[in-house]
Structure 1
């Protein structure tokens, strides 16, 4: 027997991803529709092609029946793929026989099935031995070991050796679990969880046959029935995970935002988020904030946003290929991370615009301030449209209060422009609209009670009170300026004065001052004291019932009255009403 050759340590170790290789082959060549015969034929053709490429094929002769040996030092990963496809061909044949045995009572199918599974396990074991002898990556060796234990577990399961099958399945499940937790690739993570989902029913069935009642789920069974080999694997997996962490100290970053915890497994994405948070913490420590500092933070969050969108795209493609029970959790964590990054990006942009607005306000460039408030409201709408934002009641209430506050601020700035243009009615209408926004914002703030500690943008009761005072001051200033300029009693001034009084809440356009003694007018004109000439008013007359009573009144006789009048004498004595004899 030839002595094994020394392996050159300077050469790059071989790497083979068994899960990706077999999943792509299975889904492409028949197993999407459970066509095991087509997949078996593909594996046979692939083995024949690999033997031709690697020059391991023999001439078609009945006398030649011995395969060519492998080289002492394997430097091509296709030698490893050869054993993988040999094992897959035998496994596919076994599954094809299992389908046929389900509709037949013939025991030969089951006997042949066990032979094919035994052949598949043998090829997998040969692959594992070859990987351990050659310069192969440690992660690849563990991947091959998990694949070997899966096939050996299926063989023991069909042979009804449930204790041995359970041990093999536990080893494979533990390896895939550790791979999924330490892997930053979304597709690899989905493949690992999919492999765990395929093994879990077999673990539960073996536990049922062995009358193990420790738990109904596979995870509890794995934790309580770990073998010694699993403990040995734990050290190897810990070493691999430690080597991966040395590449980037911020991999597997755990974040907690608004009482929700999620992990960042992508190394580059975790690094970008870490840098953005560091820049933000530096800004919070500074007493004076400038737009340049905000621009630096926005650029860091923009980089993280780009990487997160890429991760979401990869996760979508991975879940389209392979779905597992934990795919929804991974997607939810990515969506939560995307919302976290976008919230920080848009909130920092709003803070920068507010800082610009405060700087420009000193120069009196009102139109530029209005444009900035338009951008602020637009960014607030973007935050509202993010995933999982509307499901968070507190965050939704905070955004609504914040939007109402900034709308009121924008109305005040527009009102100042109209006031400068001598359009008092429009200015007062905008002040009134701003006041309505403030009232709604106060109600929203009372519903929210207090902003979350993770909120970057916060509106306090003092902010709303200050804004309300500025609205009140602007209203009276606009009215005073108008009356100083239009103090005359012309017809146009009267019409505008009525409009101003209506906008100010002092409507005395109907009636005069004497009819509105409980209202304080903004100006008193000569023609609004009393109505002159007076208005026509109905005059009280005798009651109606007098006319009805006249029918029942007895008046003195008219003839007697005439005689008395004619018998009266004239002269001096007639003045005193003295009668003559």
Structure 2
């Protein structure tokens, strides 16, 4: 059965005697809801969008099935029953969408209740409603669905029940429900082919972290290591785990010789998780999972910083210190500094893991993942720039301006990371065949690395890394130098190998040089003599020869002269006197 808006044509029922026998319905429930969730918001954890979609979907289903609950502007409740299913198997989707809508509303409230705790009661009510709809769907499916669909509906109902018990801290009931759902999904995956079973196996993996967490809360101490070693299923589970694993509450913390009191719960939870982070990281093998763990920790750190900053914003001493960078630093302000220090250092540690992962790909130790963008030296340059930016922020934190030990430590690290950045910039020039630029940057990289080694404040790790960097630079320097020499030789060979017509005179081959002995002889071939004729454009001339043979029309009629033409020509005075003293004809 597919998720479509149109109502499928009614199946022809088989009539046996006078009784109407329905064909068992197939409802691929998990595939159906997974497709809907991915397309309508849950890919980005947008539960409100998915809830709105479920509401619209129910309205469309009821309208298409002519099963609306509004008659003459009045609400008339209509529940799906066995008779409805005889009309169309599409009726099964109505209670399913009702359950999905209630479940998504409950999880939406779960995100919102972090700022409004009273919404927890509303959330539990919505989850309880989702379980009711799922149980109703299970009752409908008992008589009308095939065996596979019944198992899917039962697993879905058990999963929603487990979610409800998990949120109400009924751990034993939650374990029972989650175990039932996991078993059903696992058995379904065994009966299907590889492609269809993938979605069921993934669902089993999603259930396991919640199941182990419930087992730990019941009192299963062996679940502790399993919880730490398994991949995280989400931020909410991370927070729950670290709240539970911390048996004693953190109230005070000491750093740089100063004792600070922790008042906020989010800050306390973060420090609790930060203490367990090294152990958590040691149980993770792949770099991708380590990066994900760092990202999750940094999100918690940013939340703790924001909570503390909002509290300190009302302190005039804090505002003055932020503006002028002078004056005393209160314990709360120093705790704020400590949180920022942790944030910057964790960003640096995460970037180092990412750099090591990229280096393995560039060096050929690990193959490039399919479908991902190829890794280039420019990617590592950006990572090193981010590290240098975070290192430069550390000495500027309030209360650390006069910390000479921190400054010397940062100085050695800065020199090493600058050398590493120069090395990968040089590699990018090496790839572009810009040998002089690459060699100059390699030399600059060696200078930085040598300075980092010579500093007394450098740690053994920095000294070892600087030594390895110098060795890598020397290898690449030889490559750049050799390629530079080869390019020059190729250029000379190409010039020598150019085929020139040596019979040409010198004036026609001024751009090319070769040793021509005829130039020093008594008959040098300088120019062509006599010069060859060349066509030139002719000068435009006008020869007025046709004018003598042109007959122009007579203009006598226009001047008003008589035809005999007998008139005495008058001179200048005659014409003037005649015109002045003569009479008009």
Question: TM-score, normalised on structure 2?
Answer: 0.34
- Of structures 1 and 2, the one scoring higher in RCO (CA 8 A, sep 6+) is 1
Question: TM-score, normalised on structure 1?
Answer: 0.35
